[in-house]
Structure 1
Amino acid sequence: MAPVRVAIDFTPGLNQLAGIGRYTRELVRALTENAQFEIILWYGRTSSPLPHSSSPRIHYRQIPFSERWLTRLWYRVRIPFPIDPLIGPVDVVHGTDFLVPPARCARVATVHDVSFLLVPELGHPRLVSFLQAVFPRMLRTVDALIAVSESVRQDLLRLYRLSPDRVYAIPHGVAFPFAPHPPQHARPVIASLGIREPYLIAVGTVEPRKGYPVLLQAVERAATKIPDLQLVIVGATGWLAEPIERALEAAQGRGRVLRLRGISDQTLAALYSASAAFVTASFYEGFNLPLLEALACGAPVIATDIPVHREVAGDAALFVRSGDVDSLAEAIIGLLTEGALASRLQKAASQRASRFSWHKSAEQHSAVYRAVASEHASRRP
């Protein structure tokens, strides 16, 4: 049987360090273990270096336009020029970042969240209006959607009244180096970064959806009981972040907050492992990959009580109401002062994370590719 040729949009894998970029890179890495697939990685013109791949099943194809121009041509101006002539004959084209371009073959798109519909006030207005306009048009022609969680899948079915057999929930995975790091390995890393203990760690872009103002207020209140408490934030500055950044800078000046950007995965895993807790105050998430990474490192978790956090963390987290400073502060104090509670969550964390792997995720993606390729081939005259 000839291998299925899958063309994957690798642009996020080149241009985005976390989130969608990590998903794209890890998916491709796991897919190379499957001999049934030939993988073409296509991307817009970029200055980002290509990763090294020794797999004979990986082929790179650069499109002679930048990502911005591709977006304009395919989605704004809506020029229906198929991607196939630019990358060669394939069986499936997979758009890894919400949208997939026109193609003569089967088309699959990954949907990471529906924040542009559910919490549009927390997103960048231009991106929100773009997705609200373009996404429904794509739905009329795409062969299948991959939702990164059952929560996102249910939202898609409810909001767009899609056929359930066209929407697949495939959760992310987690892999090395995200595993518990022993104290003798983690503490030198902490010391080199000037972090004091006990500390909480929060990971994610600084933007309104992540709830950082609520988290900062809760940490300040918890510090009345735990004076040395520090909040370590790992993440870049995102959209609509100016007032949030001002508050974080003021807290950093008081020594309550430490901001880190651009650290390695190995360093991040060490920080998860030695933290008193990983805390996420997000109002909305499609999956929350840092939450899974923290669980894999054995960190106790405090998370807002939203559907996808329940889906990912299960019984391995303390849940608090979104936007509730008092309940979040109480959870922080309780976790840091009750050794039995912290121990229970640490034990549950690794067990919960073991349910997720990129290998399993890639196998589920593979099943979707085979299904849509077969269905598309059967419709050919």
Structure 2
Amino acid sequence: MTRLLIECSYVFDHHDANSGIQRVVRNVIRELPDANSSRECIPVAMLDGKLYRVLSLKPLKTSVWSLTSLKTRLEKMSNSFWIRHQSLERHTPFTQSHFARRVLYVICRLMALACFSIPIRLCDRFRKKTESPQRCIPLQHLPGDQLILLDSSWHANFFPLAEQLKRDGVGIVSVIYDLIPLTHPQFCDAGLVRVFNHWFDWIARTADGYIAISATIRDQVREEMLRRVGRTQVAQRWFDYFHLGSELDQCSENSRIDTNLVQLFKGQAPVFLMVSTIEPRKNHGFLLDAFERVWASGSQARLCIAGRIGWKCEALIERIRRHPELNRRLFMFNTLDDNSLEYAYSKATALVFPSYVEGFGLPLVEAMQRGLPAMGSDIPVFREIGGEFMAYFDLNDPQNLADLVIRQETSGVFPAARHVHEWRWLGWREASNQLVERIVFHKNRFSSVMETHEADSP
């Protein structure tokens, strides 16, 4: 029997995180197929240089729950603190003096260390001592196991453990969500670019196979591998992809829909919804440019931006908060839960998604699976997912999107070749099965090739 060790270390340690990768990890783990005679799927976490079988991704309701919640709140406060620091740097005297910026940074660094970094580390230390053994148990690896790096492992420090597992006969498979820090570093923090590049170098040397979340990214990974390790090494690895599911997994009967969101959808005007973290590559500025043209034409269409505030977006957030249409035809929600997001998908007129680059585009399938048509930037991965069921616009011309919005509003007909109700997509159970089946297929194929090679050797 082949054991697939599905790594979920970050989500295990950050249960409240709900961005794209964390949503994928949670749903894939939840929907892993049951064991059969040929394979068994085991969620695992690599903690402090050791391998553990994960019994529960969610924290148990014990006395240490307060430490888990406190750590999450401190991490959110730390993120907000550094966003405010970046905003402050854009004002006098910091724009005119390198020395002033340096002094500001040192002061903020010391404050963050005392108020956030040290308390977060203390929470982590005490929480792991008391909680982790209840949620996971040690796991002994076996030759022939396959370690599937499903989580966001580029920030992790488990490289030595993974290398030891490989020496002991464990195969390594890397799930690749995108190569954006390599292909579009201008949209990323410089620290992430360095960390991701180091991680990809390690993955290029270590992994036996690579499974992306779209055919578009699979092809990019193969090209990057050719550039880094050469054709001979690439011929010894396998490359594939699986597609993501669409259900929102954190809806709760006890959660109330945001009252301001409900009020937004009470009017008769069409509402165009944008769902994503607010960061440069999501291209919210282009969206505002397009809708300013829509409003200038006399349209009453509303734009609803839903997503947490990310990085390198201070000027954009300031533009939104000072916009004359804010809370009239422009609305922003930064803390919607899955219940409110489900409500928005069900009530909106269309999704708008003007990203420069994506690995997949999870909001697209979430929206379209619910019958909400989508307008997206004309990039390869959106064509892969949406086909003829989406409307596409040129990122070089905001008027192109404005025309689509006006056409939708005036005609009531969505400007795509085929109706979204004819579109079908897989759920998370099918996505998880697809991931497992393709890995097992390549593992068996690779084993057969190696056996043939050994039999042919003198």
Question: TM-score with structure 2 length normalisation?
Answer: 0.66
Structure 1, unpaired ranges of 5+: 54-67, 70-84, 179-185
Cα distance change on mapping 1:303 and 1:250 into 2, 3 Å: same
Letter in 1 for 2:211: I
1:115 Cα deviation from its structure 2 partner? 0.9
Partner of 1:303: 376
Which structure has more helix as a fraction of its residues?
Answer: 2
Q: Does 2:419 align with 1:348?
A: yes
Q: How does 1:186-197 map to 2 (within 5 A)?
A: 190-192=261-263, 196=267, 197=269
Identity across matched positions, percent: 22
Q: Can you give the 5+ residue segments of structure 2 that lack an aligned partner in the other structure?
A: 49-55, 61-119, 122-136, 227-233, 251-256
Cα shift at 1:239 = 1.4
Q: Could you say which residue in structure 1 is the equivalent of 2:346?
A: 273
Partner residue, 1:257: 330
Matched, 1:30 2:101: no
Distance in 1, matches of 2:412 and 2:326, equals 31
Contact 2:349 2:373 in 1 (8 A): yes
**1:193-232 alignment to 2 at 5 Å?**
196=267, 197-232=269-304
Match of 2:44 in 1: 41
1:334 lines up with 2:404 in the alignment: no
The alignment status of 1:360 with 2:430, answered yes or no, reads: yes
Task: Please identify the structure whose Cα radius of gyration is greater.
Answer: 2
> Residues of 1 paired with 2:336 and 2:46: CA distance?
25
> Structure 2 counterpart of 1:139, which letter?
A
In the TM superposition, residue 204 of structure 1 has moved relative to its aligned partner by 0.6
Tell me, yes or no, if structure 1 residue 130 matches structure 2 residue 195: yes
The question of whether the paired residues in 1 share the 8 Å contact of 2:270 and 2:301 is answered with yes
Q: Which residue of 1 aligns with 2:58?
A: 51
User: Would the alpha carbon gap of residues 20 and 362 (structure 1) be closer, same or farther in structure 2, given more than 3 Å must change?
Assistant: same
> How far apart are 1:340 and its partner, in Å?
3.0
Range that drifts further, 101-110 or 163-172: 163-172
Q: Are residues 339 and 229 of structure 1, via their aligned partners in 2, closer, same or farther at CA, if it must alter by over 3 Å? A: closer
Q: Secondary structure at the match of 1:314?
A: helix
Q: Equivalents in 1 of 2:260, 2:311: separation in Å?
A: 30
1:151 aligns with 2:232: no
Counterpart in the other structure of 1:324 = 397
Question: What amino acid sits opposite 2:3 in the alignment?
Answer: V
Match for 2:28: what amino acid? L
Write the deviation string for residues 64-98 of structure 1: whole angstroms up to 9, x where unpaired. Answer: xxxx99xxxxxxxxxxxxxxx96422512221225
Q: 1:297 deviation in Å?
A: 1.3
Contact between 2:258 and 2:340, CA under 8 Å: does it hold in 1? no
Deviation digits for residues 332-372 of structure 1 (CA, Å, limit 9, x no counterpart): 11122222336x77x732432x2322222222221244346
Distance 1:241 1:223, change over 3 A: same
1:174 to 237, 242, 246: 246
Q: Aligned-pair distance for 1:246?
A: 1.0
**Please, what is the CA RMSD of the aligned residues?**
3.4
Bigger mean CA offset, 265-274 vs 214-223: 265-274
Q: Distance between the aligned counterparts of 1:226 and 1:3, measured in 2?
A: 62
Alignment equivalent of 1:238, drawn from 310, 320, 326:
310
Matched AA of 2:316? I
1:226–1:317 distance in 2 versus 1, CA, 3 Å: farther
C-alpha separation in 2, matches of 1:324 and 1:132: 32
What is the aligned length? 339
Separation of aligned partners in 2, 1:98 and 1:226: 48
| 2:174 corresponds to which of 66, 91, 109 | 109
Alpha-carbon distance in 2 for matches of 1:327, 1:376? 51
Q: Deviations over 1:101-143 (max 9, x none)?
A: 4223111111111111221111111101221233123211101
| 2:353–2:376 CA contact under 8 A, matched in 1 | yes
Secondary structure at the counterpart of residue 178 of structure 2: coil
Aligned to 1:247: 319
DSSP 3-state at the match of 1:259: strand
**1:122 aligned partner, one-letter code:** F
User: In 1, Cα distance between the equivalents of 2:312 and 2:11?
Assistant: 22
Deviation at 1:34? Answer: 5.0
The verdict on how the C-alpha distance between 1:201 and 1:44 changes in structure 2, with shifts beyond 3 A counting, is farther
Distance change in 2, residues 1:359/1:350 (3 Å):
farther
Tell whether the 8 Å contact from 1:175 to 1:358 is kept in structure 2 after alignment.
yes
C-alpha distance in 1, partners of 2:440/2:153? Answer: 20
Provide the rounded CA distance (Å) in 1 between the counterparts of 2:290 and 2:4.
50
In structure 2, the CA distance between the partners of 1:122 and 1:268, relative to structure 1 (3 Å rule), is same
Residue 15 of structure 1: how far off its partner (Å): 5.0
- Contact conserved, 1:173 with 1:360, CA < 8 A, in 2? yes
User: Match of 1:31, as an amino acid?
Assistant: L
User: Aligned partners of 1:368 and 1:229: how far apart in 2?
Assistant: 44
Structure 1 residues 244, 86: closer, same or farther in 2, change over 3 A? farther
